Amino acid sequence: MLVERLSLLLFFSVGLMGTKICKAQQDRNPIELENGAYNNILIAISKDVEEDSSIIQNIKDIFRAGSSILFNATNLRVYLGTITILVPPTWSRNSEYQVAQREAYENANVLVTDQQSNHRPFVDKPFKCGQQGRFMHLSKTFLVDQALRENQFGDSGKVIVRQFAKLRWGVFDEDYVPGTGAEPYYQLNSNTVTGGVFEGTRCSSKVLGDLLDENERQCRQDPSGYLPDSCRFVPHASGQTARASLMFASNIHSIDMFCHDDPGNVGYHNYMAPNLQNKKCDYQSVWQLMRKSTDFMNGNSPSLPEDTDTSPNFIVVQPAGSLRIVLVLDTSFSMDGPRFNKMIRGAKNFIQSIVPNNSYVAIVEFNSVSKVNSNMIELSSVISRKNLASLLPTVAENNTCIGCGILTAIEVAQYNGLDSRGVYLILLSDGQENIYEDITLVADTLDDIESSGVTVHSIAFYGADTQLEELAQMTGGRSATCADGGSSQCVISAFVSIIAQSPQSVATSAPIQVQSSTITLDPGTTKTTDIVIDDSLGLDTVITITWTANDIITVTVRGPDGTVIDSTDARYETDISSKIITVTIIDAEAGVWSIEINNDGNPHMESVSVDVISKPRSDGVYPPVVNSFLGTSIVYYTTAPLLEVYAYVHINYVPVIDATVIAEVVSSTTGDVTTISLLDNGLGADLIAGDGIYSAYFLDFSSNGRYGVKVDVNGYTANSSESALRSKRDTGTLTTPVPSLRFQRTTTAGVFQVENYSPDLIFDILAPSKITDITSRERTYDENRNVTLTWSAVGDDLDQGTAAYYELRFSDNFTQIRTNFTSAAAVNDTDLILGNLSRVASSGTLESITILLPGQDSDAIFSFMIRAWDEAGNAGPLSNIVSVSRRSLPPTTMPTTILNSTSEPPSTQSPGVALPIWVVISFSCAAFFIVIAVSIIVGVLCNRSAPKNPIGSVYEHTNPAYECYEP
């Protein structure tokens, strides 16, 4: 019997581990593909959305239409199956609504909010090409205002399919998206004497349209050869026959398919369009990426009968009226000491300060057996909270039977016939089960957990078995890992994170963690830390101070208006037995508050935890929110020793830019603490600059085992209605937010596991990151035909350190450099007017070189591509492609020919903006003598100093590239 249980436990751990990577990477509700139907899609309506029955009906209508379009666009292979709509608890009860089980707003695949500044649907997609997005966002207005929906966005079903493609297959838009690195137009080589033409960015090239400026007039070239910044491709309103692509437009009737790589088909991909799909996905078509997904790989999801019913099955659910929680506390002997003290201090703070009013909380403790300390008690007053806190365990002893605690907690959740669906079990343990006869293992409880509908959240102490996180993941819960020593800061942060995601937490009243930090004080010393209460918060502000070593410490809190709160104030409460000081401020003034902590007269060094939570001041106020998450839950050190850390900083899904975001990574084995800066600059791990998602790679692993990640954010609030920021990933131009009061936030990003760590690993397997922003900055139109290229430097390992050298190649054939990079001509240092490809700047630095374009053909358009190499011989991915024309242009703007507005373009290109031939002669004459002088001076100074090293040479020194340098 014991052997069978051990085998079952092993199966449980391994099985969950196999599904963990995908789920933890996205941290969302898993969508399941079964016989061509996408089931278990979760659409959640925000608690801020006012009740409107038409929202549910419109969701059904729009997604039903989208399912049919998806079916046809994928050649009858997939459609939308079972869709669950989660109605907020603030809406009226309805007999047609089922009771929600594990459905949660924070985990939903589609979010419906009352966002006011922009109604364009978008997908939150911080991950690389081919990786699924996190969620689709729809505004209430988009759903209820049919006129707006159709006039601005076109066919609603096509809109949903476009967003679903990003969400499921990790593809990108194929139109021009301002501010993302995409470009509104591009140039083609031409056989005509007038030179190349300008083409609007689109897919497929069969879409007819014009290049128009902001006044809807035909675009004109400026003296440098560019079109105006306002120039955009505007499709014709009628006469369209193009069938692709759904990723380009949803308001063109003829479009009903995705672009693909079959040149014989009508939806052939436009590889030259400088859109996000090409730039982020290495010029692969949407169908190429779709075929690489497990949905279609190896013949998966074959075509279904044409008469297949593609209408989704909709289920509407609503959470129970009150939040119900069972604390499941490990009181075994292995928890004795700092672990037990931290658990009890954190649980007491949770009961007294964190859990919302009118919630129901029970307490179960377990060691060798389990015990009910309290059945569900409603927390409606200070007295009820103190009474429940007094029932927390007081001693740790005996063996560990986690399964016993779980089964007893489920019984409590179902006490007196209560429905356990939606109940939270918050499990705190070191996770080390003792194996002996007749013990109830976690693996023995899986069927009970599944049938009960409870959600398990885990807070594990270092050394705990990974099954705690796996159990949380299986039920849609959150997990955190906390160190043995130090303060209770980690436990308190985990509790706040769990409550913030609960379905019953109304966004305008849920507690927000302002700060969570640990301060170390020597005996007899005093330290002061500042906290910021921004103008969106202040209601029910709670400052919790916990300590560990001495009998007592003293704390003084000072407000921005001079208010002083100390031990003589009624708002100041000390629990000496638990070593907790709590300062409660009903309406805290906005501004900087200082907390002075005094360890004077005490014999021991003190580790003090400072935790601050606050609520929005009133309904309708949207405070800055931070959602942090990890790229994966398991790091295999010998094959991919890297982890992506992300933080989405927003105000009601309006991105907040220019924040300072710091992640703190703590090792369970060594206790090492490493901090990294998360950036929103579009480099390295960050997909797009300025979209409010801050990202970084973490590479400094020190051992096998579990790591916990905390994120601290300091920024400035923005007026969301005036700023009207929109997600640059899917929508238009962002405006600069209006700075307001500072804000602080702390959140937990989660837990990850490192496996196969080897400190003796001597080979370098991490290549430099992909260069994503190579562009032409300026051009000199004279005999020398010079062009300046710029890009952001990458690192030796991804975006960290300094790469060894660059490999830059070019071709006058776009297809050649796209499909066969190494066959294109290499740019050597001898080809440079300024700069050096073997002198690489540190990661993130702007690189710049000036190149002498070859040849005499004034019509030639050269395409450049680059990659970085490290000293170990690892080549980074190929960059985006930048194309540059050698044509000479006059110093004044001249009329040009615009895309033909009446006839269909040729199969490979359409008529575009052409160049007059006489400008070559006039400009050349005017510039002749200047060209000679400049060429002589520059050639003498720079060619004399440029090293004649071939591509492939490795240099130990690094210098900025854009300079003449004497080695």
Classify 393 as helix, strand or coil.
coil
Helix orientation angle between 489-500 and 338-349, rounded to the nearest 10 degrees: 40
Contact 582, 595 (CB under 8 A): no
Tell whether 42 and 12 lie within a shared domain.
no
3-state secondary structure 905-936: CCCCCCCCCCCCCHHHHHHHHHHHHHHHHHHH
Classify 265 as helix, strand or coil.
coil
Residue 691: pLDDT over 50: yes
Tell whether 935 and 805 lie within a shared domain.
yes
CA–CA distance, 65 with 78 (Å, rounded to integer): 14
Mean residue pLDDT across the chain = 84
- CATH number, position 121: 3.40.390
Domain range spanning residue 745? 626-755
Q: Average pLDDT in the 557-568 region? A: 96
| Local confidence band at 917 (pLDDT 50, 70, 90 cut-offs) | very low
The residue with tokens 């293992």 is 441
Residues in the chain: 967
Residues sharing a CB contact under 8 Å with residue 146, sequence separation 6 or more, in sequence order: none
Contact 350, 342 (CB under 8 A): no
In a domain, residue 614? The reply is no
Q: Of 502, 531, 556, which residue is a domain's last?
A: 502
| Local confidence band at 958 (pLDDT 50, 70, 90 cut-offs) | very low
- Can you read off the two tokens belonging to residue 776? 């032409």
* Better pLDDT: 481 or 63: 63
Tell whether 50 and 125 lie within a shared domain.
yes
pLDDT at site 202: 96
79-80 vs 37-39, strand pairing mode: parallel
Among candidates 467, 476, 481, which has minimal Cα distance to 6?
A: 467
Written as one letter, the residue type at 496 is V
- CATH number, position 811: 2.60.40.10
CA–CA distance, 96 with 77 (Å, rounded to integer): 32
Residues sharing a CB contact under 8 Å with residue 829, sequence separation 6 or more, in sequence order: 836, 837, 838, 946, 947, 948, 949
Contact 845, 960 (CB under 8 A): yes
Q: Average pLDDT in the 939-963 region? A: 33
Tell whether 728 and 830 lie within a shared domain.
no
CA–CA distance, 802 with 797 (Å, rounded to integer): 8
Tell whether 345 and 467 lie within a shared domain.
yes
Contact 471, 429 (CB under 8 A): no
Q: Give kind and range of the element (H or E) at residue 610.
A: strand 606-616
Least confident residue range of 221-230, 302-311, 360-369, 427-436: 221-230
Among candidates 762, 759, 749, which has minimal Cα distance to 704?
A: 759
| Local confidence band at 164 (pLDDT 50, 70, 90 cut-offs) | very high
Percentage of the residues of the chain whose pLDDT score is greater than 70: 83
Residues sharing a CB contact under 8 Å with residue 454, sequence separation 6 or more, in sequence order: 409, 410, 413, 420, 421, 422, 423, 424, 425, 475
What secondary structure letter does DSSP report for 721? H
CA 636 to chain centre: 21
Residue 158, burial from CB neighbour count under 10 angstroms (0-12, 13-18, 19+): buried
Secondary structure (DSSP) of 95-109: TTPEEPSS--GGG-S
What secondary structure letter does DSSP report for 682? S
pLDDT at site 210: 95
Tell whether 478 and 353 lie within a shared domain.
yes
Radius of gyration of the chain, Cα coordinates, nearest whole angstrom: 31
Tell whether 112 and 14 lie within a shared domain.
no
Contact 49, 138 (CB under 8 A): no
Least confident residue range of 60-74, 448-462, 586-600, 767-781: 767-781
The residue with tokens 């960050």 is 686
- Can you read off the two tokens belonging to residue 680? 């929103």
pLDDT at site 947: 35
Q: Give kind and range of the element (H or E) at residue 80.
A: strand 79-80
For residue range 620-660, list pLDDT tens digits in order.
788 999 999 999 999 999 999 999 999 999 998 889 999 99
Classify 528 as helix, strand or coil.
strand
Tell whether 847 and 876 lie within a shared domain.
yes
In a domain, residue 90? The reply is yes
- CATH number, position 747: 2.60.40
For residue range 849-893, list pLDDT tens digits in order.
999 887 766 667 899 999 999 999 999 999 999 998 766 444 333
| Local confidence band at 908 (pLDDT 50, 70, 90 cut-offs) | very low
Angle among Cα 946, 949, 954 to the nearest 5 degrees reads: 115
Contact 360, 384 (CB under 8 A): no
pLDDT at site 196: 58
Residue 757: pLDDT over 70: yes
In a domain, residue 213? The reply is no
**For 29, how many CA atoms within 13 A lie in the half-sphere containing its CB?**
25
Q: Give kind and range of the element (H or E) at residue 863.
A: strand 861-869
3-state secondary structure 618-635: CCCCCCCEEEEEECCCEE
- Can you read off the two tokens belonging to residue 270? 């436009």
Residues sharing a CB contact under 8 Å with residue 597, sequence separation 6 or more, in sequence order: 519, 521, 526, 527, 528, 529, 545, 553, 554, 555, 608, 610
Number of domains in the chain: 4
Residue 914: pLDDT over 90: no
Q: Average pLDDT in the 348-361 region? A: 92
For residue range 733-747, list pLDDT tens digits in order.
343 444 457 899 999
825-826 vs 882-885, strand pairing mode: unpaired
- Can you read off the two tokens belonging to residue 754? 């490192």
For residue range 470-497, list pLDDT tens digits in order.
889 889 898 888 877 666 778 988 998 8
Q: Of 470, 502, 534, which residue is a domain's last?
A: 502
- CATH number, position 452: 3.40.50.410
In a domain, residue 123? The reply is yes
Among candidates 28, 125, 126, 124, which has minimal Cα distance to 678?
A: 126
Residues sharing a CB contact under 8 Å with residue 3, sequence separation 6 or more, in sequence order: none
Tell whether 332 and 445 lie within a shared domain.
yes
CA–CA distance, 78 with 39 (Å, rounded to integer): 11
In a domain, residue 586? The reply is no
In a domain, residue 186? The reply is no
Angle among Cα 510, 514, 518 to the nearest 5 degrees reads: 130
Residue 516: pLDDT over 80: yes
CA–CA distance, 512 with 613 (Å, rounded to integer): 5
742-755 vs 634-636, strand pairing mode: parallel
Residues sharing a CB contact under 8 Å with residue 826, sequence separation 6 or more, in sequence order: 807, 808, 809, 951
| Local confidence band at 895 (pLDDT 50, 70, 90 cut-offs) | very low
In a domain, residue 278? The reply is no
Residue 17: pLDDT over 70: no
110-113 vs 185-188, strand pairing mode: unpaired
How far from each other are the two terminal CA atoms of the chain, in whole angstroms? Answer: 75
Give the CA distances from residue 233 to residues 210, 213, 217, 279, in Å, rounded to whole numbers and listed in that order.
6, 9, 11, 18
Tell whether 712 and 850 lie within a shared domain.
no
Q: Of 302, 318, 334, which residue is a domain's last?
A: 318
Tell whether 107 and 40 lie within a shared domain.
yes
Tell whether 806 and 700 lie within a shared domain.
no
| Local confidence band at 320 (pLDDT 50, 70, 90 cut-offs) | confident
Among candidates 754, 475, 468, which has minimal Cα distance to 633?
A: 754
CA–CA distance, 917 with 888 (Å, rounded to integer): 9
| Local confidence band at 784 (pLDDT 50, 70, 90 cut-offs) | low
Q: Average pLDDT in the 226-231 region? A: 85
Least confident residue range of 42-46, 707-711, 960-964: 960-964
Contact 77, 118 (CB under 8 A): no
Q: Give kind and range of the element (H or E) at residue 665.
A: strand 660-667
Residue 575, burial from CB neighbour count under 10 angstroms (0-12, 13-18, 19+): middle
Residue 532: pLDDT over 90: yes
Q: Average pLDDT in the 804-810 region? A: 97
What secondary structure letter does DSSP report for 703? S
What secondary structure letter does DSSP report for 796? S
In a domain, residue 157? The reply is yes
The residue with tokens 């305008």 is 508
Q: Average pLDDT in the 437-466 region? A: 87
Residue 898: pLDDT over 70: no
CA–CA distance, 774 with 764 (Å, rounded to integer): 26
